[in-house]
Amino acid sequence: MTTLPHAYVIDVDPADIDFMGHVNNASYLKWVQEAVISHWQKLAPAEAVAAHLWVALRHEITYRKPAFLDDEVIATVILEKVQGARAFYDTVIRRGEEVLAEVKSSWCCIDATTHRPARLTRAVIDRFF
Q: What is the CATH number of the domain that holds 53?
A: 3.10.129.10
Structural domain that includes position 106: 6-126
pLDDT tens for the chain, 129 residues long, are: 678 899 999 999 999 999 999 999 999 999 999 999 999 999 999 999 999 999 999 999 999 999 999 999 999 999 999 999 999 999 999 999 999 999 999 999 999 999 999 999 999 999 998
Quote the CA–CA distance of 116 and 85 in Å, as a whole number. 10
Tell me if residue 53 falls in helix, strand or coil: strand
pLDDT in tens, 79-97: 999 999 999 999 999 999 9
Residue at 1 is within a domain: no
Strands 52-63 and 98-111: antiparallel
Residue 99: C-alpha distances to residues 54, 77, 96 (Å): 26, 13, 8
127, 43 contact by CB (below 8 A): yes
Cα angle 11-17-21, degrees, rounded to a multiple of 5: 125
pLDDT for residue 78: 96
By the 8 A CB rule, do 82 and 122 touch?
A: no
What pLDDT does residue 1 have?
67
Closest C-alpha to 49, from 36, 32, 62: 36
Domain assignment of residue 74, yes or no: yes
Q: What letter would DSSP give residue 12?
A: -
How many structural domains compose the chain?
A: 1
Domain assignment present for residue 60? The answer is yes
Distance CA(12)–CA(70), nearest Å, equals 7
Q: Which of 4, 24, 29, 2 is nearest to 13 (CA)?
A: 24
- Asked if the structure places residue 77 within a domain, the reply is yes
